Amino acid sequence: MNSNIWVLMSADSVALATTLILAALGALFTERSGVLNLGIEGILLTSAITSFIAADSSGSIWLGLVVGSLLGAVLAGIHAVLAVTLRANQIVSGLALVIFGTGLANFLGKPYEGKNIETKILPLSFGPLTDIPVVGPVLFGQDPVTYFTIALAVGASWYLFRTRPGLELRATGDDPATVDAQGLKVSSIRIRYTLAGGAMVGLGGSWLMLAESAAWHQAATTNGIGWIALALVVFASWRPIRLIAGAILFGFTLQLPFTLQAENITFIPQAFLQMVPYAVTLISLIALSRPGSSNALGAPRALGTPFVRDER
Amino acid sequence: MNLPFRLAFEQRTETPRRLAVMVPLLSVLAAIVAGGIFLFATGYSPFETYSNMLSDGFFSSTGITDTLGLSTVLICTGIAAAFAFQMNLYNIGGEGQLYLGMIGGAWAGLFFGDRLPGFVMIPVVLLVGAACGALWIALPAFVRARLGTSEIVTTLLLTYIGASLVNHFIYRAGSYFRAPNTLFPQGRQVPDSAMLSPLGDTTMYPTFFLVTVLAVFLWWVVRRTEFGYRIQVISDSPRAARYAGISAQRTTVQVMMISGALSGLGGATLIVGTFGRLDPGIVLLGYGYAGIVIAALARNNMAAIIVSGILFAGLRTGGDKLQISTDTPIHIGVMLQGAILLFALGGEAFRRYRVKVVRMQTATAQGAAQ
């Protein structure tokens, strides 16, 4: 019985990691282009409720995923216009998006409080493979979106470091002036990847809603996962493969309180268990910091600074 | 993206005074119009909603005092955010520092309550609250100064930890902060000596005047003192500051600690007024987050925060009463806050730049002619 719970917990950590990977991957692409989007938490929350509404009214969870992703791109679009086109302060713009998104999500979610979605996204079953002890449920008991996410992260790594557009993307985040001198449009590249990043975050929020929680709990639905995702990008040094490992670790800490509660391990107060994921994230962020510049970590050099070409 | 035109930005050397006033006003107006369209689209009446919000937030006798009462804590979190923002230090964990201020204030009230008279008690509660807020930002401040760790994420993560702490102190059986023998877990009321009485029959407390004076005082500190000058130099040009022998590290820690203390003070004002106890509901109210919007809308001007703080308190008060007066979800208030800030940010571009629409064809024609 005991070991079963721990196996389930490992499987759940991989599952929770799905939202983390998608949200962090979205942030990673956005940041690689030089745009800092702090609005992840707001996008996650709004896409979660819109995917719920879409799935609930159409009866199709897949349509829910599509609508949620599109909404993620739309919200990121607001940030793109402000941060890239109008050169607004990216930090404040991202925060405004969190506040706006939280209000919007709660407004839209009001009639759906306490309501459950009828069909969740279900895990696949590979027959005998899934029945293998320990390894089975963890590797072969996930749902299609989780497998897609892992493939997306691996693909992202190849795209970033092995393709021409990937090179252009990295260059835009590091040295926009050179990219501009090459005749490429910095603002167009930045807007495109901010939108694409938003869609990934939106998919993450939709999946969290339609596979994990399946009921709307206002802001508690995401409960800070967006912020953990932002820290995860730093943790992974802006590299997609490291992001998978980090997400599984953070997914594990997010899962911990529930498992220990199920195990009746009560000598640690519940409230302190709830702190674990945030504390782990905090400590790892500090541990990775070095005096001097953050560039040692691999942060895009032009991250958060608008590109201003000398205009005639 | 091949549009037939593109936007050209010319940096303004000087912002016309007219624009400095018009841009924030038009941003608020634009957000309200956009919100109205949204309300209409989702099947609510924008006119009814807004007229209710206006009358409940500003133009009724209880409305305006409720608004000023609420603005006390919002001005506090607003100046807290602005004080750090002005040095490009993005302390967005004011929310968590506010929780800690409330915990510290409640502890001081409960611990010293029956031993000290009121005129000593009130300052003690406020100071302990401020100290706890400062304590909650100490680690982010220190690692920001020493290691360059992003204060944005660290302060935010500590907010979630602070929220768990509030829950722990209220829901754990036998907790010091918990009222004994109540059916539903709630905070223990601080003794009367640790509480102020409201002004007449209102929800407004004298702390409103304290906070207003504090905002004006900080405005003076920023504009007129050596400390304020140091902050200005560091935020304008870190390199110049280094040559001038100004220690950015020390100022970073000082500024962040003051910012945290101000948020903590905001939490403690809720103990001496409004709540009188540690209330777990605080984690749902988002007063700390609202401070960020208030600071940004006032463009980190301490004195202007009094105005934007009252404006936002009115939006909240009017919004919170919506559910009673109409069936519109109260969250429209929070949504409008976010929308106002988004529009204000967009408007900022028109204040800083002369924006022109340039036809692409003429640009290429010129290029060909050359």
| pLDDT digits 0-9 by tens, A165-216 | 999 999 999 999 999 999 999 999 999 999 999 999 999 999 988 887 667 7
Which chain A residues are closer than 8 Å to B345 by Cβ?
Answer: 82, 86, 88-89, 92-93, 96
B60 within a domain of the structure (yes/no): no
Average pLDDT of chain B, as a whole number? 87
B149 and A CB contact within 8 Å: yes
Q: Do A103 and B153 touch (CB under 8 A)?
A: no
What does the pLDDT look like over B149-193, one tens digit per residue? Answer: 889 889 989 999 999 999 999 988 788 898 887 778 889 999 988
Q: Which secondary structure element, helix H or strand E, spans residue B353, and what is its range?
A: strand B353-359
What topology does CATH give the domain A2-297?
A: ABC transporter involved in vitamin B12 uptake, BtuC (1.10.3470)
Residue type, B58: F
- Alpha-helical (H) ranges within chain A are 2-32, 40-58, 61-80, 90-109, 128-131, 135-140, 144-162, 164-174, 176-181, 186-207, 225-235, 240-262, 270-288
Give the pLDDT band of residue A310 (cuts 50, 70, 90).
low
8 Å CB contact of B92 and A227: no
Sort out which chain A residues have CB atoms less than 8 A from B177's CB and list them: none
Report yes or no on B11 lying in a domain.
yes
Same domain for B312 and B342?
A: no
Q: Is residue B58 part of a domain?
A: no
> Which residues in chain B have their CB less than 8 angstroms from residue A290's CB?
147-148
Q: What is the pLDDT of residue A9?
A: 66
CATH number for the domain that contains residue B300: 1.10.3470
Could you tell me which residues come within 8 angstroms of residue B216 by beta carbon, excluding any fewer than 6 positions away?
A: B302, B303, B306
Contacts of B50 (CB under 8 A, 6+ apart): B32, B36
Give the least confident one: A268-272, B54-58, B87-91.
A268-272
Q: Return the percentage of chain B with pLDDT > 90, whole number.
A: 45
Higher pLDDT, B183 or B269: B269
Q: Residue B267: which H helix or E strand, with range?
A: helix B248-272
Domain residues for the domain of B341 are 1-44+328-363
**Mean pLDDT across B105-120:** 89
Tell whether B191 and B335 lie within a shared domain: no
Asked if the Cβ–Cβ distance from A278 to B171 is below 8 Å, we say no
Q: How far is CA A228 from the centre of its chain?
A: 9
Kindly determine whether residue B334 and residue A99, on different chains, have CB atoms separated by under 8 Å. yes
For residue B57, tell me if it sits in a domain: no
Band of residue A6 on the pLDDT scale cut at 50, 70, 90: low
* B335 and B264 inside one domain: no
When pLDDT is cut at 50, 70 and 90, the band that residue A262 belongs to is confident
CB contact under 8 A, B90 and A91: yes
Pick from A74, A99, A216 the residue to mutate for testing the B interface (most B CBs within 10 Å). A99
Residues B195 and B338 grouped into a single domain: no
Those residues with Cβ within 8 angstroms of residue A46's Cβ, 6 or more apart along the chain or in another chain: A71, A72, A75, A101, A104, A105, A108, A205
Q: Are A161 and A185 in contact (CB under 8 A)?
A: no
pLDDT level of residue A133 (50, 70, 90 thresholds): low
Q: Decide if B143 and A286 are in contact by the 8 Å CB cutoff.
A: yes
Of A140-144, A281-285, B141-145, B236-240, give the lowest mean pLDDT range. Answer: A140-144
State the SS3 of B127-154: HHHHHHHHHHHHHHHHHHHHHCCCHHHH
pLDDT value, residue A1: 41
Is there a single domain that holds both residue B122 and residue B235? yes
Q: Are residues B14 and B136 in the same domain?
A: no
Same domain, B118 and B194: yes
pLDDT at A259: 76
B364 touches chain A (CB under 8 A): no
**B1 and B36 both lie in a single domain:** yes
pLDDT score at A294? 52
Q: Are residues B253 and B277 in the same domain?
A: yes
For range B103-128, the mean pLDDT: 92
| Å between A139 CA and nearest CA of chain B | 31
Residue pairs spanning A and B at CB distance below 8 A: 156
Q: What is the pLDDT of residue A41?
A: 92
Residue B360 has pLDDT above 80, yes or no: no
What is the four-CA torsion angle of A179, A184, A189, A190, rounded to 10 degrees?
50
Do B234 and B334 lie in a common domain? no
Return d(Cα A140, Cα A128) in angstroms, integer: 10
Burial class of B363 by CB neighbour count within 10 A (0 to 12, 13 to 18, 19+): middle
pTM of the model: 0.87
* More reliable by pLDDT, A36 or A139: A36
Residue B195: inside a domain: yes
Instruction: Enter the ipTM.
Output: 0.85
> Residues A137, A151: contact at Cβ < 8 Å?
no
Q: Which of A100-109, A144-153, B121-130 has the highest mean pLDDT?
A: B121-130
Band (A217; pLDDT cuts 50, 70, 90): confident
Whether B365 shows a pLDDT value over 50: the answer reads: no
Check pLDDT > 70 for residue B362.
Answer: no
Tell me the DSSP string of B22-87. HHHHHHHHHHHHHHHHHHHHTT--HHHHHHHHHIIIIISHHHHHHHHHHHHHHHHHHHHHHHHHTT
The tally of domains found in chain B comes to 2
Q: Are B339 and A100 within 8 A, CB to CB? A: yes
Whether B40 maps to a domain, the answer reads yes
Within 8 A by CB and 6+ apart from A167, the residues are none
Contacts of A86 in chain B (CB under 8 A): 345-346, 348-349
Domain for residue B322, yes or no? no
Q: How far apart are CA A259 and CA B177, in angstroms?
A: 28
Residue of B nearest to A86 (CA): B349
- My answer on whether B184 and B223 are in the same domain is yes
In a domain, B125, yes or no: yes
Residue B366 in this model has a pLDDT that exceeds 70: no
Residues 6+ apart with CB under 8 A from B12: B351, B352, B353, B354
Q: How many CB atoms lie within 10 A of CB A307?
A: 18
Same domain, B226 and B340: no
Mean pLDDT of B98-118: 92
Among A82, A100, A294, the residue with its CB nearest the CB of B338 is A100
**What band does B236 get if pLDDT is binned at 50, 70 and 90?**
confident
B43 has a chain A CB within 8 A of its CB: no
